[in-house]
Amino acid sequence: MSGKNTVPPGIALVIPSYNPDDRLFSTVLGLLMAEAAHIVIVDDGSGPGYRAKFDEIAKIPGCVILRHEKNRGKGAAIKTGMAYCLDAIPDLCGVVTVDGDGHHRPCDVASCAQRVQHSGQVILGQRDKRDKTLTARGRLGNRLTAIAISVVCDFKVPDPMSGLRGIPVRYIPVFLKTKGDAYDFETNMILDLKRKNVPFRTFRIIGEFYHDGSRSHYRLVRDTAKIAAELIRFFGQQFKYLFSSVICYFLEYLLYRIFLAYLPAIGITLTNYLCRLLSGTANFLINKNIVFGVKKRDPRTILRYVLVVLLIMSLSTEIIVLVNLAFRTQQNTVAKYIKPPVDLVLFFLGYFLQKKWVFKQKKT
């Protein structure tokens, strides 16, 4: 029998498990009812006290138990399962990762598996933000991670911590190289969709928990810190640009104050242009070689950068002059202090133009 609530034979199910209770056995039975042909369970260092539970499941046809000697984390367990499927299952179409605590309904697992087989894209199961199976802590963490990913990656994933994910066989080697062994692996998978141009789709699922099932192996401080570190690492180019801009801006502002104090005859306009020229040269060299990593020498890059600098410089100068005139202060008092907030706003415009136009590289 086959239908919309059955798992296609070419899809393997990977279940990471650590210190399981009876919900793992119930999860496996539910997946067998959905005609799953390959169920790979990874015992992530649960210890001798849990060996009997896994041995009982290993006797079921179609179920395979893989073991870690020590607890290595959910991400490491998923990688172990995917690597096994890739090597041991002939005619593999893809894998679907499933939580072993009964949280994922068999019908949603089957739907995810069918979508993987038919679309050839990564499939992400997404719980609604009002899902009652999400605890307040989980809902907050999910929301914050979703916002951070939307800012960093420029696409929205409403439920970035959902464990129900389908991966076509062609993309398994991609995610085997994804960094992270704990819950940060799941975040890095989302980031790799952007980094490695992997096509994906989402579909809505409904979570389930048994009445006694409120336990989670998610470590709030440690795992949240790992996820934040990966987002910051992904956000590295922006931090490099920020650091470069801060260094060059301090150089510019220092020269700006010196010229205003000791060479007031030059005037605000000429002083601002001169300081921006000196700091802009240093900024170009740093951004080209370190921030955006453009090694090729292209006169057009220099020309574009000069045009952006002229635009930002003109806007900065004219705004400062207009504000200073509006207050009509003596000895350029307002001009001395209005420059930082004006240039802070223009900082974001400068980054956008440099990233999207000046140092833009062709995608391979």
pLDDT score for 210: 47
Query: Dihedrals φ, ψ of 15, to 5°?
Result: -120, 110
Cα separation, 317 vs 315, whole angstroms:
6
pLDDT score for 308: 87
Cα separation, 241 vs 287, whole angstroms:
7
Cα separation, 118 vs 25, whole angstroms:
29
Cα separation, 121 vs 22, whole angstroms:
33
pLDDT score for 135: 56
Distance, C-alpha 51 to centroid of its chain? 36
pLDDT score for 27: 92
Residue 331 DSSP one-character state: G
pLDDT score for 310: 84
Residue ranges and CATH numbers for the domains of the chain are 11-234 (3.90.550.10), 236-358 (no CATH)
pTM (predicted TM-score): 0.61
The pLDDT tens digits along the chain (364 residues) read: 456 789 999 999 999 999 988 889 999 999 999 999 999 999 999 989 999 999 999 999 999 999 999 999 899 999 999 999 999 999 999 999 999 888 889 999 999 999 999 999 999 998 876 655 555 555 555 666 666 666 555 667 767 778 899 999 999 999 999 988 887 788 888 888 888 889 999 899 887 654 444 455 545 555 555 555 555 555 556 667 777 778 887 888 888 888 888 888 888 888 877 887 888 888 888 888 777 777 777 788 888 888 887 888 788 888 888 887 777 666 566 666 777 788 778 877 887 888 788 877 665 4
What order do you get walking across the sheet with 122-127 strand by strand? 63-68, 38-44, 11-17, 94-97, 165-168, 122-127, 200-205
Q: Which residues contact 268 (CB under 8 A, 6 or more apart)?
A: 260, 317, 320, 321, 324, 332, 335
- List of E strands, 214-313: none
